[in-house]
Structure 1
Amino acid sequence: MAEHMLEMAGALVRVRDGEIEVLTDPKVRWCPLRSGLYGHGVESRKTVESVLRGHMEELGMYGPHRVLELSDRPVSFGASEMIADAMRSGLVDAAVVVCEGAGTVVAARPEVVAALGAHMTGLVRTEPIEEVQSGLRERGCILLDDRGTIDQVEGYRRALAAGFERIVVTITGKRAFEAEEIRKLASASACGQAGEGPVIFSVHNLDVSEDQAEVLAEACDVVWGCASREVREVVGKRAKLQIGISIPVYALTDRGKRLVLNRALAFDESLVMFRATLPYGPEEKLPEMMD
């Protein structure tokens, strides 16, 4: 019986043997992205459970029949969509991501990255699902172990050891320290990437402190604003590029900009670009937190 802990809309959720238990109330009152994707208004334990149940039914998440390849791009400017497009364009060789039932995963195929990240929220910890692990290994992925360990620093080390050079690593804002450790590892590595190091994406950044936001601004290439005022005020002001308004995505480096703009190039719908002081976005379009 595998147990998984995750965060969704700020609520702590446990999934055990296919059963969902929302342990705490959501911290987000209303999210424009979730509202647009799932049709919910005010968030509650019931909406969190409903959305997660939909993910489990659609992609087999948290179970042995999990979808491990996907061509769809459900989020306009999501991390997995951005990474998958960068792989297809030859800008990225491998990505260090996470998957329930497997933990940290080094993946080199865009359709696998797309499947793992399509509806992934803040995975806190996970237990092994043998079918997921074997399916990922059959698709050329590298796992840290059979226990479902999540350690993005070690994942980056494994990616380097496997010979990958252009690597994207995803972290979460609450583990901002991993970005600093990855930068140190890249600098110290004799087999690094011609001095460039990895591209670091920070996702699931709700509830980060101001100090953590400072670390993200210093060490990351692309940071998702989520519903975090700290990220908008600290990271947004230092960004070179912002894409999206309601859930802004901030590129802090030229390499981050390249991957964001590459996603824009592959985006099928219309976009507008203009100069602005960052962060940009009226308050009424941003997510609302619970009182």
Structure 2
Amino acid sequence: MAEHMLEMAGALVRVRDGEIEVLTDPKVERCPLRSGLYGIEAESKETVEAVLRGHIEELGMYGPHRVLELNERPVSFGASEMIADAMRTGLVDAAVVVCEGAGTVVAARPEVVAALGAHMTGLVRTEPIEEVQSGLRERGCLLLDDLCTIDQVEGYKRALAAGFERVVVTITGRRAFEAEEIRKTASPSAGGSAPGEGPVIFAVHNIGLTVEDARVLAETCDVVWGCASRQVREVVGRQAKLQIGISIPVFALTNRGKGLVLNRALAFDESLVMHRATLPYGPEEKLPEPLF
């Protein structure tokens, strides 16, 4: 019986053998992205459970029948959508991501990245699901081990050892220290790399961050999602070279980060507007409530 712990809308959730238990109230009261995707105007334990139940029914998440390939793009400028498009255009060779039932995964196929990240939220810890692990390996993925270890630094090392050169690594904001370690690990000669060199680092699920967390993200990452974080907007946003989106802004801090954001924009079928602005940009009424 596998048990998984995750965060959704700031609520701590346990999924055990397909049963969902929302352990704490969501910290986010209203999220424009979740409102658009799921029609939720006010978050509660019940809405968190309903959304997660939908993910389980639609994609088999947290179970042995999980969908491991997907071509749909549910989020306009989500991390998995951005990575998958970058793989299709040859800008990225592999991505170091996480998957429930498997832990840290190195994936090199865009449809696999799309499936793993489609509705992935803040995975805290997870236990093995044999069918998920074997399915990922059949699709050419590399796993750190069979124990579901989540360690993005070791995942990056594994990607390098496998011969991948253009690697995207996703981290969560509260594990900002991993971005520092990844930079130290990257060449040249193990002396480390600066943002814009070596791996491309994406920071996702950025809620409940300290000012120091946000500072580390600003100094080490290429692309950072604003989520419901005031610190990301105030610290990262002010250093960004590009912002796309308003309610849940995506901040690109390096030219390579800008390149991956703009590459996603090229593949985006709907209309967009771009203009000069002082960052971060966006009226208060369009932001998640509250920012924390």
Same fold judged by TM-score > 0.5?
Answer: yes
Q: Equivalent residue for 1:55?
A: 55
Partner of residue 281, structure 1? 282
Q: What pairs with 1:15-164 in structure 2 (closer than 5 Å)?
A: 15-164=15-164
Number of the residue aligned with 1:226: 227
> Residues 35-88 of structure 1: CA distance to partner in whole angstroms, max 9, x if unpaired?
000001110000000000000000000000000000000000000000000000
Q: Deviations over 1:104-136 (max 9, x none)?
A: 000000000000000000000000000000000
Residue identity in the other structure for 1:117: G
Q: Gaps spanning 5+ residues in structure 2: where? A: none
Cα distance in 1 for partners of 2:285, 2:126 equals: 36
Secondary structure at 2:187 match in 1: helix
Shift in CA distance, 181/45, structure 1 to aligned 2, threshold 3 Å: same
Q: Identical aligned pairs, as a percentage?
A: 86
In structure 2, the residue matched to 1:260 is: 261
CA distance in 2, matches of 1:187, 1:249: 27
Read off the aligned partner of 1:64 and give its amino acid letter.
Answer: P
**Hey, what does 1:245 align to over in structure 2?**
246
Deviation at 1:189, TM superposition (A): 4.9
Letter in 2 for 1:277: T
Q: Is the 8 A contact 1:13 1:22 kept in 2?
A: yes
CA distance in 2, matches of 1:5, 1:174: 15
**C-alpha distance in structure 1 between counterparts of 2:161 and 2:252, whole Å:** 28
What is the CA-CA distance between 1:151 and the residue it aligns to? 0.2
Question: 1:167: which partner in 2?
Answer: 167
List runs of 5+ in structure 1 lacking aligned partners.
none
CA contact (8 A) 2:203 2:221 kept: yes
Aligned to 2:198: 197
* Aligned equivalents of 1:55, 1:254: Cα separation in 2: 34
Length, aligned pairs only? 290
**Structure 2: how far apart are the matches of 1:120 and 1:166?**
23
Question: For residues 215 and 51 of structure 2, what CA distance do their matches in structure 1 show?
Answer: 32
Partner-residue secondary structure (3-state), 1:13? strand
Q: Give 4+ residue runs of structure 1 displaced > 4 Å after superposition.
A: none
Compute the displacement of 1:289 (Å).
1.9
Aligned mates of 2:187, 2:145 — CA distance in 1: 25
Would the aligned equivalents of 1:207 and 1:228 in 2 still touch at CA under 8 Å?
Answer: yes
Counterparts of 2:148 and 2:58, CA distance in 1: 22
What is the distance in 2 between the residues matched to 1:208 and 1:188? 31
Q: Write the distance in 1 (CA, Å) between the matches of 2:290 and 2:66.
A: 32
* Two-structure CA RMSD over aligned residues (Å): 1.6
Offset, 1:196: 2.7
Q: CA 1:201–1:185 in 2, change beyond 3 Å: closer, same or farther?
A: same
Partner amino acid for 1:32? P
Distance 1:122 1:180 in 2: 20
Could you tell me which amino acid in structure 2 is paired with residue 260 of structure 1? V
